[in-house]
Structure 1
Amino acid sequence: MTPADLSRTVLHAVHRAVAENALRAPVPARVRVERTRPGGSGDYACAVALQLAGDAGLPALEVARILRERVAAEPGIGRVEITGPGFLSFTLDAPGDSDRAVLDAVREQGSAYGHGGALRDEVLQFHHAREVRAAVTADAVRRLVVSQGARVRISCGEAGEMGAAGEAEWGLLGVTVDAYGTPPVTSPADPSAPLIPVRPVPAGATARELLERLGPDATRWGLLRPASHDRAPLGDELLVQGEANPLFLVRYAYARTRALTRGAAALGFTPATDAAPYESSVRPLLDLLADHPRVLLAAARHRAPDRVARQLEAVAHAFFDFHDSCPPLPSGDEKPSAAHRSRLALAEAAGTVLAGGLSLLGISAPTHL
């Protein structure tokens, strides 16, 4: 990572902090980073927190903490420290170290990669109408915010789909509700937790109709992939077995990663994150995997499961580009090499992220398609 790269990374962190309402200050046109002076900490230092503190109405140390959270996991950065009155000091990874760290984290954390505790102090009360898209959206939002440490309670109104049959159909869609009826603005159990309405554009169909025509996975994807303020297309295109169907693309990419693992086992080799440096052509996939924790946190904060769906589509496209340009399995009489072991590690990490993201959307990830 060059000083220019680091400057752009810090500026991107400022943009994210402002977009997520963690920081309320004008975004500077550029951020200056400088080599650390003799006796200082790290490789580079930046005074942007002191620059923003006045406009943000926060101590510089608090601004530095907000930015550190958004920079520390970026590829190429090994460590971020806060020094003095609010300077950010950066220690950069050796080339390749950040990529290995991402893949090691995915392997160690599995489907929980990207989960965290940023919302652990929040108690959230969601309420939705008795309508299938609202119910599925609230359920997906619950999964997202819980993955970031929040505690959640969901209530549902009385209008719309009623009866035991409707309850069973919602259960087939993975939806659970904690209470029925319109609750007070704040919960008696926790008066500090205000009621948060979940109001996507209605589906225009009942759970029964959608389940009979599409099944649970395609129904959930069709309801969650569009932003909540957009109409949800729920046609038969959701069942097409082709790469033009994003749901099929994502699940096929996952199934392909599992097939690669089986193929490697048959050839007698396993993945290794330190086997060989990665080709430059795999950079888009590596960057998406490194960015996955940030995407999940942003989706949780904005109550936007559609962001996870778009992330999974991007990972699937990048995986197939990588797979075609850098095959993880040897061909013909070729022997497995260090490059194949490192590519297999990347493929398995992509599969883990795809499966974990689908799980947060309440959608299954079959190993065969």
Structure 2
Amino acid sequence: MTPADLSRTVLHAVRRAVAENALHALVPARVRVERTRPGGSGDYACAVALQLAGDAGLPALEVARILRERVAAEPGIGRVEITGPGFLSFTLDAPGDSDRAVLDAVRERGSAYGHGDALREEVLRFHHAREVRAAVTGDAVRRLVLSQGARVRISCDEAGQAGEAEWGLLGVTVDAYGTPPVTSPADPSAPLIPVRPVPAGATARELLERLGPDATRWGLLRPASHDRAPLGDELLVQGEANPLFLVRYAYARTRALTRGAAALGFTSASDAAPAPYEAASDAAPAPHEAESDEASYESPARPLLDLLADHPRVLLAAARHRAPDRVARQLEAVAHAFFDFHDSCPPLPSGDEKPSAAHRSRLALAEAAGTVLAGGLSLLGIRAPAHI
């Protein structure tokens, strides 16, 4: 369980307590959890009970007890204690259990892993100029905030100009044309939000003819909106120096591993109940490390597992900040970590080697990485080819 997961878990406990009339208080927009300070108890601490006590008309210790009942049984949480005047202190499950929960969540949610409802109360109205980078950025922002539960409407300055067909080829849709009012009469709480990246300096037609839709979208979205978008032929290079190629090649490699495993007659650990689960410790530690659980978690799998666990937080932050470039950078990091893991811990047996529990666990991690890569590319409006 990541800190973002823990924050959402506590927030859901607050909502349940309010819905069940155990608490009479306004539900906060978010709950802050922090690493426990030296000498403290547990892995993380949270002061939400003190925050809610005044509104609820209850002592903070009583609010903490109400919330502890609703958090303690959640997956990934080993123990919940009440400390001081009403702090909640959380001890998370052992890393192996947490890693398994992450891979199980990826498998269960598929390409929707990391989607949530944190923005479900928000109605967002975006508006952009009739310019290709603004249009593609607005479309990607729409996808991101929708993935977090928001309701969205996008408008563009004007219609009827050349390039409408090209925008369609880029996957861009617009709900309305013309400049709408700054505030909506139907919903005054939904102000108009401008989407204003640095312009591309080229038309949609020019970019499509030279780069195609996927490279065009990646080139427009990977840089932060306030930076110029490099749109040269480097976006078409078939090599690891091209981040788009790296990300898509990593995904294609995960699909090839699944096909290869099927040809050898075995599946991942997540398919093979009750196969042993070794996702975080399958890197074959050196003999002097074999008895150390702590050492095994410093395997080449660790960076990839941590990135997968952090993916929901990255998507939510990208949605909140209207920053699709954060998703692109996350996918690049996952791709690099996948190849490091793949090269150190091959998911497929070689030569006369028989498939083992370690191979099944490695394959489960590789497949989870592929799922995250495909889901992230989809949010950017880019295809994830199974073959490259």
Q: Fold match, TM over 0.5?
A: yes
Task: String of CA shifts for 1:120-173, please: whole Å, max 9, x gaps.
Answer: 000000000000000000000000000000000000002895xxx511110000
CA displacement at 1:87 relative to structure 2: 1.6
Cα gap change, 1:8 to 1:326, in 2 (>3 Å): farther
Cα gap change, 1:64 to 1:167, in 2 (>3 Å): farther
2:383 is the alignment partner of 1:368: no
Moved more, 319-328 or 89-98: 89-98
CA displacement at 1:105 relative to structure 2: 0.3
- The match for 1:278 is 277
Task: String of CA shifts for 1:275-320, please: whole Å, max 9, x gaps.
Answer: 8988722100000000000000000000000000000000000000
Cα gap change, 1:83 to 1:223, in 2 (>3 Å): same
1: CA distance between counterparts of 2:367 and 2:266?
13
Moved more, 137-146 or 78-87: 78-87
Moved more, 73-82 or 217-226: 73-82
2: CA distance between counterparts of 1:81 and 1:26?
24
Asked if structure 1 preserves the Cα contact closer than 8 Å seen for 2:2 and 2:309, the reply is: no
Provide the secondary structure at the position in 1 that maps to 2:158.
coil
CA displacement at 1:118 relative to structure 2: 0.1
CA displacement at 1:95 relative to structure 2: 4.0
CA displacement at 1:245 relative to structure 2: 0.1
CA displacement at 1:109 relative to structure 2: 0.2
1: CA distance between counterparts of 2:62 and 2:12?
18
Cα gap change, 1:225 to 1:34, in 2 (>3 Å): closer
Q: Identity of counterpart residues, as a percentage?
A: 95
1: CA distance between counterparts of 2:113 and 2:361?
19
2: CA distance between counterparts of 1:169 and 1:3?
42
Moved more, 143-152 or 41-50: 41-50
CA displacement at 1:97 relative to structure 2: 0.4
CA displacement at 1:69 relative to structure 2: 16
Cα gap change, 1:213 to 1:45, in 2 (>3 Å): closer
Task: String of CA shifts for 1:259-289, please: whole Å, max 9, x gaps.
Answer: 0000000000000149898872210000000
Task: String of CA shifts for 1:155-209, please: whole Å, max 9, x gaps.
Answer: 0002895xxx511110000000000001110123322210000000000000000
Cα gap change, 1:143 to 1:91, in 2 (>3 Å): same
Asked if structure 1 preserves the Cα contact closer than 8 Å seen for 2:277 and 2:357, the reply is: no
TM-score with structure 1 length normalisation? 0.80
Moved more, 139-148 or 88-97: 88-97
Provide the secondary structure at the position in 2 that maps to 1:70.
helix
Cα gap change, 1:45 to 1:227, in 2 (>3 Å): closer
Provide the secondary structure at the position in 2 that maps to 1:96.
helix
Cα gap change, 1:170 to 1:310, in 2 (>3 Å): same
Cα gap change, 1:219 to 1:36, in 2 (>3 Å): closer
CA displacement at 1:4 relative to structure 2: 18
CA displacement at 1:114 relative to structure 2: 0.1
Asked if structure 1 preserves the Cα contact closer than 8 Å seen for 2:139 and 2:173, the reply is: yes
- The match for 2:375 is 356
Task: String of CA shifts for 1:61-117, please: whole Å, max 9, x gaps.
Answer: 999999999999999755768889642231321341000000000000000000000
Asked if structure 2 preserves the Cα contact closer than 8 Å seen for 1:75 and 1:287, the reply is: no
Provide the secondary structure at the position in 1 that maps to 2:168.
helix
CA displacement at 1:24 relative to structure 2: 23
4+ residue stretches of structure 1 with deviation over 3 A?
1-86, 273-279
Moved more, 98-107 or 275-284: 275-284
Asked if structure 2 preserves the Cα contact closer than 8 Å seen for 1:78 and 1:98, the reply is: no
2: CA distance between counterparts of 1:351 and 1:66?
40
Asked if structure 2 preserves the Cα contact closer than 8 Å seen for 1:128 and 1:155, the reply is: yes
- The match for 2:134 is 134
Moved more, 122-131 or 85-94: 85-94
Asked if structure 2 preserves the Cα contact closer than 8 Å seen for 1:130 and 1:160, the reply is: no
1: CA distance between counterparts of 2:354 and 2:146?
45
2: CA distance between counterparts of 1:225 and 1:57?
48
Asked if structure 2 preserves the Cα contact closer than 8 Å seen for 1:125 and 1:154, the reply is: yes
Provide the secondary structure at the position in 1 that maps to 2:163.
helix
